Chains A and B, each alone.
Chain A
Amino acid sequence: MIKTQQGIHKSKGGLIRSFVSAENGKIKEISISGDFFLFPEEAFFKIAEELKGIEAKREKVQQKIEEIYKRENIQSPGTLPADFMESIMKALEE
């Protein structure tokens, strides 16, 4: 049984809640929600989608999110890729 834990991190732009589980050192299930802002909104879903299977390590997670930000031209006032990473890592460390 793999436990899915919640990680909460507050950025200047809002609260980020992550529910994440890992298996064999890789992210298995992940869902992110919260009251932050991010444009374009639809691009947000790619973050959770593409983090599945990524090594559950700070650098790897942040690198992936930064890559998606760049490719999708994401803007999120007050929230950085590192803020999403912090929320995700808190869930994993729980």
Chain B
Amino acid sequence: MEEWRFIDFGIVDIRDMMAMDEAILKAGEENTFFFWTPKKSIILGFFQKANIELDLAQCKDYTITRRISGGGIAFSDDRCRQINYGVVGTIDNELFPMDIVESYKQICGVLIDTLIHYNLNAAFRPINDVVVDNRKISGNAQTRWEGKLLQNGTLLLDFDIEEMLRISNIPKEKFMDKKIASVREGLTWLDRELGEQRDMIEIQNVIKKKFEDRFHVRLISGSLTGKEKEFTNSLLPRYYSNEWVYR
């Protein structure tokens, strides 16, 4: 059976993580699956503007950066009840389809298989969401580079709606209860669906197993190569710069 690299980055600063993420895509030489847990942070999609999306005065204790893929804000509070993953793979038209939506579907399938393992009614919602009973539980973002793809995504275990709305650039005075209710309608998280808190490591292990089954590979724990580390270091200044974040 083919062996792919697996890395658990643990709790990380998202600026370092986004640099490593890009380095695995651009300087890596093998298919890789990885997890990380972000500290209190906001990651902007490539095409978003910080001052338009965020109430910056409310974001002072958040680390903010931008990723190289499109899509919306990835917000993490300090409870760390969120599983973030990354996949880097060579687009081979089998395991990783050329068609963008099909490739999202293939990778999101790992999360769907995981949620079904917990007896939840999970499904793929094009273009890039995983839903449980039609409520979004996972957002995913993909970019491509020289025949490879990088997909990042998150599986929510818990979510602080009020905090998310507090940092968003929306009028705060009016209709706050309505806004909370509307987000609660469209979004969900695993703790809520299961009615209890499951151990995060346990869930990660289920995801790993479902990944191996879906891609017919064995995941072998590894770390960044010298080349990837060097490339990461060359990218760090950008991820830490105001020009990149507030452009």
Contact = CB atoms under 8 A, between A and B. Distances in A.
Contact of A14 (B69, B72, B144): B72
Given A33-B48, A33-B52, A41 B127 contact: no
A25 interface: no
B32 interface: no
Q: Which secondary structure characterizes the binding site on chain B?
A: loop
Interface in A9-41: 12-14, 17, 31-41
Given A33-B52, A35-B45, A77-B127, A41 B71 contact: no
B49 interface: yes
Given A17-B52, A33-B47, A77-B100, A38 B127 contact: no
A32 B141 CA distance: 19
A17 B128 CA distance: 20
A78 B52 contact: no
A65 to B, nearest CB: 15
B101 A14 contact: no
Interface string B144-156: 1000000000000
A26 B236 CA distance: 40
Nearest to A39: B144
Interface residues of B, number: 21
B103 to A, nearest CB: 10
A40 to B, nearest CB: 8
B41 interface: no
A15 to B, nearest CB: 8
A13 B72 CA distance: 11
A77 B47 contact: no
Query: How big is chain A's contact interface, by range?
Result: 10 to 19
A75 interface: yes
B68 A13 contact: no
Nearest to B142: A37
Interface in A48-87: 75, 77-78
A13 B69 CA distance: 13
A34 B88 CA distance: 25
B47 A35 contact: yes
B70 interface: yes
Nearest first, the 7 A-B pairs at minimum CB distance are A35-B72, A37-B70, A33-B49, A77-B100, A78-B127, A77-B127, A41-B46
Interface of B: 45-49, 52, 68-73, 100-101, 126-128, 141-144
27 contacts: A13-B127, A14-B70, A14-B72, A31-B49, A32-B47, A33-B47, A33-B48, A33-B52, A34-B47, A35-B45, A35-B47, A35-B48, A35-B70, A35-B71, A36-B47, A37-B69, A37-B100, A37-B127, A37-B141, A37-B142, A38-B47, A38-B70, A41-B47, A41-B143, A44-B46, A77-B100, A77-B101
